[in-house]
Amino acid sequence: MSEHMQDQAMKKAFVIGFPISHSKSPIIHNHWLSQHQITGIYEKIAVDPKDLKDFIRQFKQQNYQGGNVTIPHKEAVLDYVDVIHPTAKRLQAANTLWLQNGQIHADNTDGYGFLANIDQNKPYWHQNDPVKQALILGAGGASRPIIDGLLERGFDIILTNRTRERSNAIVELFTKLGYQDRIKAIDWQDRNKAMTGQSLLVNTTALGMSGQPKLDIDLSNLPKTALVTDIVYTPLKTEILLQAQERGNPNIDGLGMLLHQAVPGFEKWFGLCPKVSEHLRNLVLNA
Ligand code: ATR
Same domain, 237 and 140: yes
Alpha-carbon dihedral sign for residues 26, 150, 185, 94: positive
The pLDDT of residue 210 is above 60: yes
Q: How far is the CA of 212 from the centre of ligand 1 (A)?
A: 10
Same domain, 227 and 206: yes
Residue 114 lies in a domain: no
Distance CA 19, CA 184 (A): 34
Same domain, 196 and 93: no
The pLDDT of residue 3 is above 60: no
Q: How far is the CA of 207 from the centre of ligand 1 (A)?
A: 8
Q: How far is the CA of 230 from the centre of ligand 1 (A)?
A: 14
Q: CB of 205 closer than 6 A to ligand 1?
A: yes
The pLDDT of residue 6 is above 80: no
Q: Whose CA is nearest to atom 24 of ligand 1?
A: 207
The pLDDT of residue 241 is above 80: yes
Same domain, 92 and 188: no
Catalytic option among 11, 74, 89, 224: 74
Q: What is the pLDDT of residues 42-93, one digit of tens each?
A: 999 999 999 999 999 999 999 999 999 999 999 999 999 999 999 999 999 9
Indicate if 74 belongs to the active site. Answer: yes
Q: CB of 141 closer than 6 A to ligand 1?
A: yes
Question: What local confidence, expressed as pLDDT, does residue 4 receive?
Answer: 52
SS3 string of the chain? CCHHHHHHHCEEEEEEECCCCCCCHHHHHHHHHHHCCCCEEEEEEECCHHHHHHHHHHCCCCCEEEEEECCCCCCHHHHHCCEECHHHHHHCCCCEEEEECCEEEEECCHHHHHHHHHHHHCCCCCCCCCCCEEEEECCCCCHHHHHHHHHHCCCEEEEEECCHHHHHHHHHHHHHHHHCCCEEEEEHHHCCHHHCCCCEEEECCCCCCCCCCCCCCCHHHCCCCCEEEECCCCCCCCHHHHHHHHHCCCEECCHHHHHHHCHHHHHHHHCCCCCCCHHHHHHHHHC
What is the span of the domain harbouring residue 90?
3-109+257-286
Same domain, 74 and 29: yes
Same domain, 245 and 192: yes
Same domain, 186 and 105: no
Q: How far is the CA of 181 from the centre of ligand 1 (A)?
A: 25
Q: Tell me the best of 160, 162, 257 to mutate to test the pocket of ligand 1, counting ligand atoms within 8 Å of each CB and taking the most.
A: 162
Q: CB of 254 closer than 6 A to ligand 1?
A: no
Amino acid letter, 162? R
Q: How far is the CA of 14 from the centre of ligand 1 (A)?
A: 27
Percentage of the residues of the chain whose pLDDT score is greater than 70: 97
Q: How far is the CA of 166 from the centre of ligand 1 (A)?
A: 10
Work out whether strand 200-203 and strand 183-187 pair parallel, antiparallel, or are unpaired: unpaired
Q: Whose CA is nearest to atom 21 of ligand 1?
A: 205
Q: What is the pLDDT of residues 102-157, one digit of tens each?
A: 999 999 999 999 999 999 999 878 776 778 999 999 999 999 999 999 999 999 99
Q: CB of 161 closer than 6 A to ligand 1?
A: yes
What are residue 285's phi and psi, to 5 degrees? Answer: -65, -40
Same domain, 80 and 144: no
Same domain, 145 and 244: yes
State the chain's mean pLDDT as an integer: 95
The pLDDT of residue 216 is above 80: yes
Q: CB of 213 closer than 6 A to ligand 1?
A: yes
Q: CB of 212 closer than 6 A to ligand 1?
A: no
Q: CB of 163 closer than 6 A to ligand 1?
A: yes
Amino acid letter, 56? I
Question: What local confidence, expressed as pLDDT, does residue 8 receive?
Answer: 58
Percentage of the residues of the chain whose pLDDT score is greater than 90: 93
